[in-house]
C-alpha cells in the first residue's frame, strides 16, 4: 500500500496519542479526563474498502468528504487490520471479539457462528438496548449467525438465482431503511445500530455522478457512493439530535487488491492492500477528536471497545482489547488469515501475525516485512530475521491452543450457498473435513506462488460468463494440468464442458474430481447429472441429482433438477413433493418482528 503523504495527515504526531486542548487519547501515559460513556452506538461497516481509498488516509481528494469530516471528529487508527480478507469471518470477529480459529467461521458460507458464542448485539439486547442491523448482501445472511441478538435484521431477500452475480442492496437504500428505524425507536431507551454497506465490492458499477466524483475510477466511484450514504445517515442522526449521545464506529471488513501484489480483488492473499482498513471511532463528547493512532489494532477490538463503552460488563475471554479511552497494551500483536486458497484451489493456508516490529505471513513460502520502512511489502526479510520469524510462529502456535467453538458445519441453509457463490466466492460451502491449524501448510504450494494459476481461473470464468465456452475449457484445462488438486477448477471445467456439449469429456473430468475425495460437492453431482441426462442415461442422472439434493436439501436450483428428473422417470408424486418444497423455499421470508422499532 502506498505510504501516506505527510501533507495529507496533519492532525498530530502519531506514535503516541497525546492529550491536547481538543481532547487526546487517554489511558496509559496520557493526560486528561477519560471519555464520557455514550448512551447508544452506531457501527458502520464498509465492505471491500481499502484504507487509502479515503482522503483522510491519503487517498484521492474529493472522493470521501463525509468520512473525511467524520475523521476530524474521531480517533483515526492508521494500523487497523482485518482478521481476514473475507466478509463473513471479518464481521463475526468484530461482533464477538474472537479470531477466526476461535469462533470457527473461516470463510464465507462454510459454517455459521455457533449459537453458544455471544455477540455484541446479544449483550446489548440483554441490557435493554434496542438492536437493529441493516446488511446489504446475502454473504451476511442472518442464517450465518450474526443475527444473534438483533431484534431486527434486515437483509436482501433470498431468491432463486441462476445468474453468476447477484445485486446487493445499494448503500443509499440501506441507510434510508436504517434512518426509518431510527425514527421509530423509543427515545427513552438506548440503541445499538449496525449498518453494512457493500457498494465497493466488485463488479464496480457506480452511477455517472459518483464515477465523475472519483475521476473516472469505478472502484473509487463505488467508495464515493458509500461515502455519500454515510453522510446521509450521519446527517439524519444529527437532525434527530442523537449524535451527542451516540458513539460512532466506522470500519471496513477488508480492502481490495486492485492489482497490487498481483491480486485483483481480495480473499486469496494477506498483504496490507486487503488487510489494512480504515477505523474511525467518534466519541459523542468529542474526546480524542482529530487524533491519529499508529498502534497496531484489529477488527477484533470492536467488540470489547463497545462492551466497555456501553457499560455492558466484562467482555470475557476474547482476543480483542478495548480501545475505549486507552491505547492497546505495549507489544500487542494481531492475527490474520485466509483459508480461501486451501478451500478453493488446493493451496496452503495463509496465516500471519503483525505487531510494531513487523508482519509475518506463514505458508509453505513464509514472508516477513518491516511495514514501517517497507509499506509496499516488497522486501521479504524472513531469511535475515529468523529469530523474529520463530517468535511470530510461536504466537500462531499459541493461538491454535486457545479454547475454540466447535464448527457448526451443516447448520447453514444450503440454499444460501448458491447465492453467496454467485458473488464470486468460489470455495463457499461443501467443506466438512477438519481444517489445518495456522502452522500446518499440508505441504501444499503457497498462494503467492500460484497467482498465474489464479489469473487463468479468473480468465476462464470470465470467458464462460461471456459464452466463450471453448476458451474457458482451454484455460481451465491448463489450470488442472498444472495443479490436479484444484478441485474448484475441475468442477468448473466439468460445467463448461457440459455447456460445450462435450458430455463424455465432462464425465471423465468429474470422475477425476470425485477421486480426490472429500469434500463432496453438490455442484459436482449436478454437473454429473446434466451430462448423464444429455447422454440419455436417466438412471445415473437421477442418482446424481438425488445426491446433489441430499448435500444441498434447501437449494432451489438443485431441487429443481431432481424434480425434473423424477418427472421424466415417471415419479410424479415424488416430483410434486419436491416442487412444493421449492415453492416454500423461494417465498419471501417473514418480515422481521422488529420492523416497528425494537
Phi and psi dihedrals of 277, rounded to 5? -130, 155
Among left, alpha and beta (phi > 0; psi -120 to 50; other), residue 536 is left
> Quick one: which of 343, 387, 48, 92 has its CA closest to 218?
48
Distance (Å) of CA 206 to CA 44, 65, 209, 265, 270: 20, 17, 8, 17, 27
Residue 195 DSSP SS3: strand
Residue 454 DSSP SS3: helix
Q: Residues 319-337: pLDDT tens digits?
A: 999 999 999 999 999 999 9
Residue 114 scores a pLDDT above 70: yes
pLDDT band per the 50, 70, 90 thresholds, residue 433: low
Q: Which segment of 370-384, 405-419, 518-532 scores lowest on mean pLDDT?
A: 405-419
User: Each residue of 55-81: b (16+ CB within 10 Å) or e?
Assistant: bbbbbbeebbebbbbbbebbbbbbbbb
Q: Which segment of 3-12, 180-189, 408-417, 478-487 scores lowest on mean pLDDT?
A: 3-12
Residue 260 scores a pLDDT above 50: yes
pLDDT for 464: 95
Mean pLDDT rounded to a whole number for the chain: 88
Q: Considering the chain, what percentage of its residues have pLDDT values greater than 70?
A: 86
pLDDT band per the 50, 70, 90 thresholds, residue 518: confident
Residue 141 DSSP SS3: coil
Q: Show me where the domains of the chain are located.
A: 37-271+284-334, 456-585
The residues near 335 (Cβ < 8 Å, ≥ 6 apart) are: 83, 99, 101, 298, 319, 351, 352, 353, 395, 396, 399, 438
Q: Considering the chain, what percentage of its residues have pLDDT values greater than 90?
A: 76
pLDDT for 167: 56
Asked if 534 and 546 count as a contact pair (C-beta separation under 8 A), the reply is no
Pick the CATH number of 37-271+284-334 from 3.40.50.300, 3.40.720.10, 3.30.200.20, 3.90.380.10: 3.40.720.10
* Beta strands 152-154; 75-81: pairing state: unpaired
Alpha-carbon gap, residue 59 to 1, rounded angstroms: 11
Alpha-carbon gap, residue 535 to 3, rounded angstroms: 58
Residue 45 DSSP SS3: strand
> pTM, whole model, 2 decimals?
0.86
Asked if 534 and 518 count as a contact pair (C-beta separation under 8 A), the reply is no
* Beta strands 75-81; 291-298: pairing state: parallel
Asked if 305 and 281 count as a contact pair (C-beta separation under 8 A), the reply is yes
Q: Residues 21-65: pLDDT tens digits?
A: 233 343 333 457 899 999 999 999 999 999 999 999 999 999 999
Asked if 96 and 304 count as a contact pair (C-beta separation under 8 A), the reply is no
Residue 250 DSSP SS3: strand
Q: Residues 369-395: pLDDT tens digits?
A: 999 999 999 999 999 999 999 999 999
pLDDT for 415: 47
pLDDT band per the 50, 70, 90 thresholds, residue 592: very low
Residue 416 scores a pLDDT above 50: no
Pick the CATH number of 456-585 from 3.80.10.10, 1.25.40.10, 1.10.1370.40, 3.40.640.10: 1.25.40.10
pLDDT for 590: 42
pLDDT band per the 50, 70, 90 thresholds, residue 205: very high
pLDDT for 588: 53
Residue 425 scores a pLDDT above 70: no
Alpha-carbon gap, residue 429 to 418, rounded angstroms: 9
Q: Residues 144-197: pLDDT tens digits?
A: 899 999 999 999 886 634 334 545 899 999 999 999 999 999 999 999 999 999
The DSSP secondary-structure symbol of 14 reads -
**Mean per-residue pLDDT, 538-546:** 96
Q: Burial-class residue 370 by CB neighbours within 10 Å (0-12, 13-18, 19+).
A: middle
**Mean per-residue pLDDT, 53-81:** 98
Of all helices (H) and strands (E), which one includes residue 79?
Answer: strand 75-81
Residue 315 DSSP SS3: coil
Residue 501 scores a pLDDT above 60: yes
Alpha-carbon gap, residue 423 to 87, rounded angstroms: 11
Residue 497 scores a pLDDT above 70: yes
> Quick one: which of 569, 558, 525, 72 has its CA closest to 292?
72
Which one has a higher pLDDT value, 293 or 549?
Answer: 293
pLDDT for 557: 87
Q: How far is CA 261 from the centre of its chain?
A: 20
Q: Residues 439-461: pLDDT tens digits?
A: 999 999 999 999 999 899 989 99
How many other β-carbons are positioned within 10 Å of the β-carbon of residue 164? 13
Residue ranges of the alpha helices (H) in 25-108?
Answer: 65-71, 87-96, 100-103
Amino acid at each position: 500500500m502506498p505510504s501516506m503523504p505527510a501533507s495529507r495527515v496533519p492532525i498530530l504526531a502519531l506514535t503516541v496519542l497525546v492529550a491536547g486542548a481538543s481532547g487526546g487519547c487517554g489511558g496509559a501515559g496520557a493526560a486528561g479526563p477519560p471519555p464520557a460513556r455514550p448512551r447508544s452506538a452506531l457501527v458502520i461497516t464498509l465492505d471491500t474498502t481499502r484504507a487509502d481509498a479515503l482522503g483522510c488516509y491519503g487517498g484521492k481528494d474529493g472522493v470521501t468528504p463525509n468520512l473525511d469530516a467524520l475523521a476530524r471528529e474521531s480517533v483515526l487508527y492508521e494500523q487497523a487490520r482485518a482478521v481476514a480478507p473475507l466478509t463473513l469471518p471479518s464481521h463475526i470477529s468484530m461482533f464477538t471479539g474472537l479470531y477466526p480459529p476461535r469462533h470457527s467461521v473461516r470463510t464465507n458460507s462454510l459454517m455459521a457462528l455457533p449459537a453458544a458464542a455471544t455477540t455484541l448485539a446479544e449483550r446489548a439486547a440483554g441490557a435493554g438496548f434496542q438492536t437493529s442491523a441493516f446488511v446489504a448482501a446475502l454473504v451476511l445472511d442472518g442464517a450465518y449467525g450474526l443475527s444473534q441478538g438483533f431484534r431486527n435484521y434486515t437483509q436482501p431477500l433470498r431468491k432463486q438465482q441462476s445468474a453468476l452475480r447477484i445485486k446487493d442492496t445499494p448503500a443509499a437504500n440501506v441507510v434510508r431503511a436504517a434512518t426509518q428505524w431510527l425514527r421509530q425507536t423509543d427515545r427513552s431507551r438506548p440503541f445499538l445500530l449496525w449498518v453494512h454497506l457493500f457498494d465497493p465490492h466488485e463488479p464496480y458499477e457506480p452511477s455517472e455522478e459518483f464515477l465523475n466524483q472519483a475521476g473516472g475510477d469505478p472502484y473509487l466511484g463505488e467508495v464515493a457512493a458509500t461515502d455519500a450514504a454515510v453522510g446521509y445517515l450521519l446527517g439524519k442522526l444529527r437532525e434527530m439530535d442523537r449524535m451527542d449521545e451516540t458513539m460512532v464506529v466506522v470500519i471496513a471488513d477488508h480492502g481490495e487488491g486492485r492489482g497490487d501484489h498481483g491480486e485483483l480483488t481480495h480473499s486469496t492473499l494477506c498483504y496490507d492492500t486487503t488487510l489494512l482498513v480504515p477505523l474511525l471511532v467518534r466519541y459523542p463528547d468529542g474526546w480524542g477528536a482529530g487524533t491519529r493512532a499508529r498502534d497496531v489494532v484489529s477488527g477484533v477490538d470492536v467488540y470489547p471497545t463497545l462492551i466497555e463503552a456501553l457499560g455492558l460488563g466484562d467482555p470475557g475471554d476474547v482476543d480483542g482489547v478495548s480501545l475505549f479511552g486507552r491505547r492497546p497494551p505495549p507489544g500487542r500483536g494481531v492475527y490474520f488469515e485466509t483459508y480461501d486458497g486451501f478451500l478453493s484451489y488446493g493451496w496452503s493456508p495463509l496465516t500471519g501475525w503483525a505487531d510494531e516490529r513487523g508482519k509475518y505471513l506463514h505458508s509453505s513460502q513464509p514472508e516477513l516485512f518491516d511495514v514501517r520502512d517497507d509499506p509496499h511489502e516488497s522486501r521479504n526479510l524472513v531469511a535475515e530475521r529468523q529469530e523474529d520469524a520463530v517468535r511470530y510462529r510461536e504466537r500462531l502456535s499459541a493461538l491454535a491452543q486457545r479454547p475454540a467453538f466447535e464448527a457448526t458445519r451443516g447448520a447453514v441453509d444450503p440454499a444460501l450457498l448458491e447465492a453467496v457463490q454467485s458473488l464470486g466466492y468460489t470455495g463457499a460451502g461443501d467443506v466438512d473435513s477438519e481444517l489445518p491449524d495456522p502452522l500446518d501448510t499440508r505441504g501444499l504450494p503457497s498462494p503467492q506462488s500460484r497467482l498465474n494459476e489464479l489469473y487463468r481461473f479468473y480468465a476462464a470464468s470470465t470467458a464462460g460468463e461471456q459464452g466463450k465456452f471453448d476458451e474457458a475449457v482451454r484455460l481451465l484445462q491448463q489450470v488442472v494440468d498444472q495443479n490436479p488438486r484444484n478441485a474448484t477448477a475441475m468442477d468448473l471445467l466439468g460445467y463448461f464442458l457440459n455447456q460445450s456439449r462435450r458430455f463424455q469429456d465432462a464425465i471423465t473430468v468429474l470422475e477425476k474430481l470425485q477421486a480426490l475425495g472429500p469434500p463432496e460437492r453438490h455442484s459436482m453431482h449436478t454437473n454429473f447429472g446434466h451430462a448423464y441426462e444429455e447422454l440419455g442415461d436417466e438412471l445415473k442422472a437421477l442418482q446424481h441429482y438425488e445426491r446433489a439434493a441430499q448435500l444441498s436439501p434447501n437449494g432451489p436450483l438443485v431441487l429443481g433438477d431432481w424434480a425434473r428428473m423424477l418427472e421424466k422417470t415417471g415419479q410424479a408424486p415424488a416430483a410434486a413433493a419436491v416442487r412444493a418444497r421449492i415453492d416454500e423455499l423461494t417465498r419471501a421470508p417473514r418480515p422481521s418482528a422488529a420492523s416497528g422499532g425494537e
